Copies of this chain bind each other. A is one copy, B any other.
Amino acid sequence: MPSALISNQRLAQQIDFIIEIDRLKQVVRRTLITGGSRRENSAEHSWHLAMMAMVLSEHADVPVNVGHVIRMVLIHDIVEIDAGDTFFYDGAGMLDKAEREQRAADRLFGLLPADQAAEMRALWDEFEAHESAEACFALALDRLMPLLHNYLSDGYTWHENGIRPEQVTVQNNTRIAGGSAALAAFADRVVAEAVSLGYFPAATGASAPHA
């Protein structure tokens, strides 16, 4: 590793961390990038959220520290390097997600010098707690973008995973509403339009005839 060339222990740890997190580029999400040519990875997704924070923060319900939101979304998925990406609508996967991600946070942020490790961990814990104004807005962005990606790919992921519009409205859009009423109203219109365009799979189950 290049850090073996460094006598300054602190810089060596920082370089090790920078190189290790390159692996986030290989964590693949369910959503397709626009154009639909391939699935998105979590590193480019994190960049996209940071750009959204720069552009959309005026729509937060309460004023947010934009720089803090940007830092939070930049680091929010780093744990996926060890824990993998858990699909938002995967009930079973969501059950042990927290435990897997806690272990990942210990190892990955622990590569940094202690003061920076603590700072990153606090930022990630804040995001996961979904309590501060910045965390609520960061979560809203994290739920709005996949909605747009799914809409722009004619509901590819919704069809692939049998997702119903009610699931999106209840599970996804309420989290957007936790950070921004304006963005949540837009998200609800996107879902309604997606329904009318046939971007969701047809309903099945008890209420469907002969099913």
Q: Given the complex, which residues of B lie within 8 Å of A48, measured CB to CB?
A: 18, 21-22, 25, 43
**What sequence of 0s and 1s flags, for each residue 44-88 of chain A, a beta carbon within 8 Å of any chain B beta carbon?**
101110111011100100000001001100110000000000000
Whether A40 is near chain B, meaning CB under 8 Å from some CB there, is yes
Whether A99 is near chain B, meaning CB under 8 Å from some CB there, is no
Q: Which of A31-39, A127-135, A162-170, A203-211 contacts B (4 or more CB under 8 A)?
A: A31-39
Residue pair B34, A19 in contact (C-beta under 8 Å): yes
Residue pair B5, A193 in contact (C-beta under 8 Å): yes
16 contacts between A and B (CB under 8 A): A6-B189, A11-B182, A15-B148, A15-B186, A18-B51, A18-B52, A21-B48, A22-B34, A22-B149, A24-B47, A26-B35, A41-B44, A43-B47, A44-B44, A50-B70, A51-B74
- Which of A's residues lie within 8 Å of B, judged by CB? 2, 5-6, 8, 11, 14-15, 17-19, 21-26, 33-35, 37, 40-41, 43-44, 46-48, 50-52, 54-56, 59, 67, 70-71, 74-75, 112, 116, 145, 148-149, 151-152, 182, 186, 189-190, 193
